[in-house]
Each structure stands twice: as C-alpha cells, then as structure tokens.
Amino acid sequence: MDAEKRKQKLREMFQRVVDPLGYKFSPDEEIVDFLLEQEVMLEKEHGHPFCPCQGLTGDRELDMKIVCPCIPFHRAHFDAMKRCWCGLYVHKDVEDPYSLVQISRSEFEQMQKEGKV
Amino acid sequence: MMYTLSTCPWCKKSKNFFTERNIPFEFIDYDKASKEEQQKIREVCSAHGESIAFPFVIIGDDVVVGYNPQKYMKLLES
Amino acid sequence: MSEVTWVYALKETELADGEKKALLISGQKIALIKKGNELFAISNKCVHMECPLSKGELENYVIKCPCHDWRFDIRSGEFLDAKELKVPVYELKVSDGNIYLKMEGENK
C-alpha cells in the first residue's frame, strides 16, 4: 500500500476511535498531514504507527501505550492540555490549536496535586 | 542541550526557536541514537519525573518538556 | 427498516472451552468465544485498527487484541481503557446443539 493511501486509511480508522473520546483531528491540516506521514513511516519501520513525539523503549507494555491514538492511556493528562502530546488530536471545541501549550507529565502531576485539574 | 525526535514537528520548532535567535545548542535525536544513548536519555527523563516525551530541552539547571517558547525565553533571560 | 434474523453460526460441539473462532456471518466478521459453559459473540474487528480479536489472548472475560494489546470485556464489548469505545456484541442462542446469532441487517 502506498504511503498516501495508508495515511488516508489511518485517518479513517483513528477518526472512529477519537470521536467518541471527544477529540478531533487538529484544524492545522499541515501538522496533521506531517504527523500522519511520520506515523506511516514509523509503522513501516517498527510495525506500528507510534506517536512521532514520544520515544520507544523496547518494552512492549510501555510502547503499546504510545501507539496512535494513545489518548485512552493518557486521558487525564491530554484532557488537561485539550490536545494529545503530538497535537494530532485536539478537543472538539478547540478552533485554534496554537492557543494550547504542551504540559509535561510532571507539570500535570503537580497540577493534579494542587487540585488545578 | 536538547533531546528530540526526528519525527516530531515540535522538536523541529524548538530547534528553529534557538537557531533563529542564534543561540547555539546541541541536540540528540533519540530515535537516531544508539541503544546506550537512548538508555541514558530515558534515565534523564525519569530522573525529572517525565515520560519519554519530546522535545526535552535543558537550559542551565532547568528542564522544559514540550515546545514552549515563553518558557524558553524566560529561562534564557534569567 | 432493519430486519432481525437468527443466523446459524456453528455447532456447539465445534467450540471447546477457552476456544475462539473467527466466523463470517451475514458479511460480518465475528469472534465466537466459549468460556466454561458460556458463549460470547463479539465483532472480530478491534475498534482500533480492525485486527482480529479471535487471535488474541483470553483471560477471564478479557480479550487482548493481538496487534496492540487493547483489552475488551467479551460480555459487554467495552474497551477497558475507555468505556466510550466498544466492539459490537451479538446476542446468541443455542438450539438443538446449534449456535445462532442475532443479526440485524438493512431490509432493502
């Protein structure tokens, strides 16, 4: 399957996953296209469409939690950012993805402790 | 120092941020690094209570995980 | 109009305890699972990337997708890590040793 077709197929499959979770593809089409292209490459190289912005560890249990869409495994953290880590998906009400900032895991945990999320 | 992924657009933006301001920096693309280097980077991430998420930017004694120009600026100014 | 029909799937004796079978019934990919004396029928397409759940590992009432380890409760079809996601489950009945599935199809 050529890369363009695979990209389209991933888009269709992932849309069905993220929609019930309250997410949509980022309105920034350019970044969506770039990220999906990376995922197709990662899938070709490693067998799975991993998140382009998180690192593989070689430990299956950990690595399976960063296969796109990885929202179910980082739900509270991503909900707090209104986007997933790589920004492929944003909350449905987000119109400007550049209004959102990445919050690291430790910052998120701190926010949780302080009752901010 | 910056730990990045060659596949991550936010890592590219972070690199651009420093390049555009003529601020010299070193970086290692985690996905292109050796197993030993990867292991070392993971240890650094864990030591800061972070997951293996990129970009991981070290400015002085501080760490910023994620593309965050405001934070980079603040740390560079201090 | 949707039409409900009971469609023959398999003989009960063709499925051993703990066994999972991939079937194509009325054009739908189904995983038929026997656990103890209980039978379950769920869609055989993982909600993630459509991998065949029948090839996954079964532990208690949880089946783990062979592709990316997504876990589903075979009783409800629920994905354990996000309840909003579900694989369809099919009602079934056994009559004279034959397993039938309740299939809903469009009546054209």
> For residue B71, how many C-alpha atoms fall within 13 Å in the half-sphere facing its CB?
18
The answer to whether C38 contacts chain A (CB < 8 Å) is no
What is the chain A residue with the closest CA to B37? A57
CB A4 within 8 A of CB A34: no
C11-15, C21-25, C103-107: which range is least confident on average?
C103-107
Range of the domain at A72: 3-113
> For residue A11, how many C-alpha atoms fall within 13 Å in the half-sphere facing its CB?
16
Q: According to the model, what pLDDT value does residue B31 have? A: 98
How close, in Å, is residue C13 to chain A by CA atoms? Answer: 36
Predicted confidence (pLDDT) per residue in A67-113, tens digit:
999 999 999 999 999 999 999 999 999 999 999 999 999 999 999 99
Does the pLDDT value for residue C108 go beyond 60? no
Does the beta-carbon distance from B7 to A87 stay under 8 Å? no
Asked: is C2-106 a CATH 3.40.50.10540 domain? The reply is no
Residue with tokens 């004796």: C13
Number of neighbouring beta carbons within 10 Å of residue A109: 16
Predicted confidence (pLDDT) per residue in A18-27, tens digit:
999 999 999 9
The answer to whether C85 contacts chain A (CB < 8 Å) is yes
Q: Residue C33 — very low, low, confident or very high, per pLDDT cuts 50/70/90?
A: very high
Q: According to the model, what pLDDT value does residue A94 have? A: 98
Predicted confidence (pLDDT) per residue in B22-40, tens digit:
999 999 999 999 999 999 9
Does the beta-carbon distance from A86 to B8 stay under 8 Å? yes
What's the rounded mean pLDDT across residues C86-94? Answer: 97
The answer to whether C94 contacts chain A (CB < 8 Å) is no
Per the prediction, chain B carries an average pLDDT of 96
Q: How many domains are there within chain A?
A: 1
Q: According to the model, what pLDDT value does residue B5 have? A: 98
The percentage of chain B sitting over the pLDDT mark of 70, rounded to a whole number, equals 100
Distance CA C44, CA B28 (A): 42
Pick A64's closest partner by Cβ from C49, C69, C84: C69
Asked: is B2-77 a CATH 2.60.40.1840 domain? The reply is no
A98's tokens: 């550049």
Residues 6+ apart with CB under 8 A from A14: A68, A69
DSSP 3-state of B57: strand
CATH for A74: 3.90.460.10
Chain A interface test: which of C64, C67, C68 (most A C-beta within 10 Å): C68
Q: According to the model, what pLDDT value does residue C104 have? A: 83
Predicted confidence (pLDDT) per residue in A25-72, tens digit:
999 999 999 999 999 999 999 999 999 999 999 999 999 999 999 999
How close, in Å, is residue A67 to chain B by CA atoms? Answer: 13
Distance CA A42, CA A52 (A): 8
* ipTM of the complex as predicted: 0.95
CB C52 within 8 A of CB C44: yes
Q: According to the model, what pLDDT value does residue C1 have? A: 58
Q: According to the model, what pLDDT value does residue C75 have? A: 97
Query: Which residue ranges make up each domain of chain B?
Result: 2-77
Rounded to 10 degrees, the C-alpha dihedral C30/C33/C38/C39 comes to: 20
Does the pLDDT value for residue A8 go beyond 60? yes
How close, in Å, is residue A58 to chain C by CA atoms? Answer: 14
Query: Which residue ranges make up each domain of chain C?
Result: 2-106
CB A90 within 8 A of CB A23: yes
Does the beta-carbon distance from A105 to B11 stay under 8 Å? no
Per the prediction, chain C carries an average pLDDT of 94
Distance CA B57, CA B41 (A): 12
The percentage of chain C sitting over the pLDDT mark of 90, rounded to a whole number, equals 91
**CA distances (Å), A21 to each of B33, C5, C25, in order?**
35, 32, 29
User: Each residue's pLDDT tens digit in chain B (78 positions)?
Assistant: 999 999 999 999 999 999 999 999 999 999 999 999 999 999 999 999 999 999 999 999 999 999 999 999 999 998
Sheet strands side by side (includes C38-43): C20-25, C28-35, C38-43, C89-90
Does the beta-carbon distance from B10 to A109 stay under 8 Å? no
Distance CA C43, CA C27 (A): 11
Predicted confidence (pLDDT) per residue in C36-47, tens digit:
989 999 999 999
Q: According to the model, what pLDDT value does residue A18 have? A: 98
Chain B residues within an 8 Å CB radius of A87? 9-10
What is the pairing mode between strands C57-59 and C38-43? unpaired
